Chains A and B, each alone.
Chain A
Amino acid sequence: MDIAVLIKQVPVSNNVSVDPETHALIRASAEGMINPADLNAIEEAMVLKEQTGGKVVVFTMGPPDAEKALREAMAHGCDESCLITDRAVAGGDTIATAKVLAEAIKKYGKFDLILSGALSADGATGQVGAMVAECLGIPHVAEIQSIQYDEAVPDKIDAVKKVYGERFHVRCALPAVLSVNFGSNVPRLATLRSTRAAKNKPLATYTNADLKLPADQVGIPGSPTAVIDSFEPTGGRMAEMLEGTPEELAVKLKNMIDEEKGKL
């Protein structure tokens, strides 16, 4: 089974503030890492590869520096990688980004399965995987807990999805996109040796000259939505201190927990 894994480089720290004058984002550090849930997607790909053979290709769209995330993914066991980097496709929203990723997957080759992390640590939209599936005209199952493949049913993939307080066993025709929840497995670690070996694994670089998408479909011009402002939350970084007797505090704690649990 040949598998594509879509990953995103996210900031190591979400410690971001807003310039009060220009409202531009100020990042404490530029250090990036692989989005944590994407590591769970890579792990699922590794397990399937061990079972079925085939290759795993990791894709990302980003600045040239995103090569680091691809090398790291290959240190975790992915075989090949593809970096889509072009100013023309930068700054796009989820719609514009998904179009680019789908086109890159098509250009790279045929895949039986496409995996991604369910939500990113920075934007947390959870949209791109499903949008890529729509672009490719294939089904998707989002936010899954586990994957199983039965060789006796070669054109389908099974997954477990937790929703509405239940666990559903779903079966989806291949090719398909599955997005994997954070924490759903324990990703194998890279080692010093695998990290060094990853430096020599194949990395293809695409620009929009390769993908040939119309300029008004990608990047900022191709995005139906736009960020027009950013601001810091009121209240600052300090915890809101709650006062009261232990009895009162216990009640406050219970109310907060119950309210938040209601949203899970």
Chain B
Amino acid sequence: MANGICIFAENYNGKLEPASAELVSAARLIQETTKEEISAIVAAKDCDTVVEELKGLGVEKIYVVKTSRDILLQDDAASEVIAEMLRKIDPSSVLIPATPTGRSIFSRVAMKLNCGLTADCTELLVGTREDGSYYIKQNKPSFGENVFVTIITREGYYPQMMTVRPGVYTAPEASSENSAEVVYMDDIAVPDSQIEVVEVLPTEDTTDSILSSEIVVVGGRGVLEDDNFALVKEFADKIGAAIGGTRPMVDTETIPFEHQIGQTGCTIRPKICISLGVSGAIQHTEGIKDTKLFVAVNTDPNAAIFKVADYGMTADLRAVLENYLKL
């Protein structure tokens, strides 16, 4: 019978990814009800330091496949190893960071095990079936962040696998007093991979393309007053953002047309959007989608932009930015 909560210890360069540490807290909340053991799985060449980190976080058991070669980005091989580990461990649930690596490897694992994989959960709750067995209610946003859905792994499919959005749970404090049983699964062989890492390329200069930028500062008419644009530019540089704007910004040639956001210009999908002095006419707001953090600053408390932003500040953008740049 499948039992135990297993977390995937994603690591890079011998260090545990913070998102994996957070999973320990998510697992503990499940454990309060189900009383199951919390384990972690590691498959890497340089796994010793990762194992030490995991011990400090208070997991009870650590399953390790120490690979003979680096399997970074070899998702075909890595998924084979991890699927085999899970077959042997037989946990009831697997928690995975919702990172590019997590969703890539575990998509293959889910297909190999013919179990499901719920993506990008922001809340995990425990439900109880009529027979007294437990299941995990996997809550996740859908359609941007407009609705939330509860997903379950149907009875009979094990393990229940889900990726959890980084930053939702807070990692537990590490303590040297914690200890864990370490199980080396030496009989699991690493298959050949069809993928090789040829080289690590030099990091690009911050790209000026507004479409591919993960952080965008958007300026409106408020930015055109009193030389505010210089300040906005300094702010954008500081946070590593591309600058977009509304039609008045383009009409005054403050920014090029390629950076006009909205119906007439382009649609952007940044993770972070900081909107400054934008009233929020629909032709403009239609051009900003799928943000994770959207903050708007405007002097007008009734500005329509506050209907689409996550956070609003009724303030003079100049005063806020001047203070920001001092921090």
Contacts and interface: CB of A to CB of B under 8 A. Distances in A.
B313 A249 contact: yes
Nearest to A126: B103
B147 interface: yes
Q: Which 3 A-B pairs have the closest CB atoms?
A: A224-B116, A183-B212, A225-B116
Interface of A: 11, 14-18, 25, 36, 93-95, 98, 121-131, 133-135, 138-143, 158, 160-161, 163-173, 176, 181-184, 186, 223-233, 237-242, 246-247, 249-254, 256-257, 259-264
B73 A229 contact: no
Contact of A223 (B116, B142, B272, B316): B116
Contact of B320 (A165, A172, A176, A253): A253
Interface residues of B, number: 97
B74 to A, nearest CB: 8
Given A167-B202, A224-B110, 12 more contacts: A121-B269, A169-B197, A170-B73, A171-B198, A182-B212, A225-B152, A231-B149, A246-B316, A250-B324, A251-B323, A253-B295, A253-B313
Contacts of B265: none
A38 to B, nearest CB: 13
Contacts of A158: 198
Contacts of B198: 158, 169-171
28 contacts: A14-B289, A16-B143, A16-B146, A95-B111, A125-B117, A127-B103, A131-B107, A131-B108, A134-B111, A140-B75, A142-B100, A142-B103, A158-B198, A160-B201, A161-B73, A166-B203, A173-B195, A183-B209, A223-B116, A228-B152, A231-B149, A232-B146, A239-B308, A239-B312, A260-B271, A261-B215, A261-B239, A262-B18
Interface string B300-326: 010000111111111110011111101
Given A141-B73, A233-B141, A260-B292, A224 B114 contact: yes
Interface of B: 12-13, 18-19, 73, 75-76, 79, 100-101, 103-104, 107-108, 110-112, 114-120, 137-138, 141-154, 157, 165-167, 193-204, 209, 211-215, 239-240, 267, 269, 271-272, 274, 289-290, 292-297, 301, 306-316, 319-324, 326-327
A109 to B, nearest CB: 21
A125 B119 contact: yes
B310 to A, nearest CB: 6
Contacts of B117: 94-95, 125, 127, 225
Contacts of B146: 14-17, 232-233
A246 B320 contact: yes
Contacts of A247: 323
Contact of B312 (A133, A142, A240): A240
A143 B211 contact: no
A232 B323 contact: no
A257 B295 CA distance: 9
A6 B145 CA distance: 25
Contact of B194 (A134, A139, A252, A253): A139
Chain B CB within 10 Å, residue with most, of A123, A186, A260: A260
B143 to A, nearest CB: 4
Given A124-B120, A131-B107, A246-B319, A230 B195 contact: no
B195 to A, nearest CB: 5
Contacts of B166: 263
Contacts of A126: 100, 103-104, 107, 119
A231 B148 contact: yes
B152 A226 contact: yes
B205 to A, nearest CB: 12
Given A141-B75, A224-B157, A18 B271 contact: no
A263 to B, nearest CB: 5
Given A169-B199, A256-B295, A231 B147 contact: yes
A253 B272 CA distance: 12
A184 B212 CA distance: 6
Contacts of B202: 167
Contacts of B103: 125-127, 130, 142
A13 B240 CA distance: 28
A94 B107 contact: yes
A121 B290 contact: yes
Nearest to B318: A246
A184 to B, nearest CB: 6
Chain A CB within 10 Å, residue with most, of B12, B119, B193: B119
Contacts of B290: 14, 121, 124
B147 A230 contact: yes
B319 A226 contact: no
Given A94-B117, A241-B313, A260-B271, A223 B154 contact: yes
